[in-house]
Amino acid sequence: MYKYKKDFPIFKNTKFYNKDLIYLDNSATTQKPQIVIDEYAKFYENFNANIYRGIYRLSEEATSMYEGARTSIAKFINAKSNEIVFTRNTTESLNLVVLSFAKSILKKNDLVVLSVVEHHSNIVPWLILQKEIGFRIEYIDINKESFELENIDKYLELKPKIVSITQVSNVTGVENNIKEIIRKAHLKGAFVIIDAAQSVPHKKIDVKDLDCDFLAFSAHKMLGPVGIGILFGKEDLLERMNPVLGGGEMILSVDQDSCTFKEAPFKFEAGTVNFADAIVFKKSIEYLDGIGMDNIEKYIKELSGYTYENLSKVNGLKIYGQKNNSGIYSFSLKAVHSHDIASFLDEDNIAIRAGHHCAQVLMNRFSVYALSRVSIYIYNTKQDIDNLCISLSKISDLF
C-alpha cells in the first residue's frame, strides 16, 4: 500500500514548518488522489451543463455522467441505482430519513433506539422530531471494558419502531455487529438505519447481505469530493416516502393548487444538485476498486494494530477504546488538554483531531469534555505512526 501515497499531491506540496505532512484526521475527511483532482478540471473544461433540463448534447452528456455515477455507487455497495439518493453528506442523508420516513410512521409513545456512541447527526434530528411527535428514545449503553454495545436484546424486547445506529464509532473505532443487530431488530418488526460514514471507506459493504433498510455515508471520507453524501434506501421504502425539499426537477407537474412528484430517487433531489461532485465521486470509487476493498481492509487492520500497540507505549497516554480494525483511536495524555496536544503536534506538521468529535453523549459517558483522536487511511504508514508517537512522548515529557 505504501506506493499509493505518491498519488496524493498534498504530501508533496504541503510542508508546514519545513516538515513533511503526517495527516491523521481521516475520520473527518480524507485527502484526494491526483486523478480525482484532475476529474474536476476534466468535467468543467469539457462537460459542464445543468443536468436533465437541456435539450442539447452537452446537457445530455452531463446527465449521462451523473446517472453513471449513481450506477457506479450502487454497484459499490450492491444496491440498485434507484435505491441511491444523492445528498450533501451523511448528516443530510440521516436527516432525510428522519424527516420523511420516520416522521410518517412514528406516533406518540413509539420507541426509537439509538446508542450512546452516535454522532450528533444520528441524535439531533431525532431530538428535533421528538419534540413534535412525542415518541420515546432509548440509548444502548456500552460495556466499560470492551467498549462494545451492551445488552442490545433488552432494548429490542421493548419492540422499537426504529433502530438507528452507527456501524463504526467515530470516537473509539469499535465496530458493531450490524448484521446481527439488523437481523434481531427485523424479527421484532423494527426498521434499521445505519450510519456507515466510518465503515464504507474501510471495507466492502453489501447492503443486500446486511439487509439494512437505510444506510448513509459520505464521499469526502473515501477520497472523494466534499459536498456529496449517499443515502441508500430499500426501493419500496423510498417509494412510500415524501420529499423533504421541493422545486426543480423533482416534480412531474405543478398547478396553483397541487403538485405531483417524480419517482424515487429523483423526488428527493430538489433544485440544481451537486452533479459535478457526484461525477467526480465516481472516479474515487474507481480508484478504490483499483486497489481493492479487501486489500484496503487488510492494510487498515494491520496498521490499526500497529497504531494501538505504539500509542499504548506512550507514557501517560490513555486510549478510550480497544484495539480495532478501523484505525480510529481517541485518547488523553496526562493532564494536557486535547487542543494543546493538537497544537504541539502541529509544530511537527502532524494533523490530528481534538475536541468532542460531534459525540458529546459519548464524551459525557466517558466523563470527559474532549479527547484527541488519530484516524488512519490508505496513505498512512508505520513511519507516520512512529513519528506521531515520538512527538507524543515529547509532549508527555514536558508535563
- Catalytic residue list: 358
Q: What is the DSSP letter of 221?
A: G
- What DSSP letter does each residue of 313-336 carry, written as one string? TSTTEEESS---SS-EEEEEETTB
- Confirm if 392 and 329 have CB atoms less than 8 A apart: no
The CA distance from 142 to 117, in Å, is: 8
**Residue 398: burial class (beta carbons within 10 Å; 0-12, 13-18, 19+):** exposed
- Grid cell of 22 as nine digits: 503526517
130: closest CA among 162, 93, 89, 156? 162
Give the whole-angstrom CA distance, residue 35 versus residue 110: 48
What does the alpha-carbon distance between residue 136 and residue 122 come to, in Å, rounded to a whole number? 15
Start-end of H helices in the chain: 10-13, 34-46, 57-76, 90-96, 103-105, 124-133, 152-156, 178-187, 207-210, 235-240, 275-291, 293-311, 338-346, 360-366, 382-398
Q: What span, in angstroms and rounded, lies between the C-alpha atoms of 284 and 300? A: 18
Contacts of 177 (CB under 8 A, 6+ apart): none
Closest by CA to 341, choosing from 328, 353, 359, 357, is 353
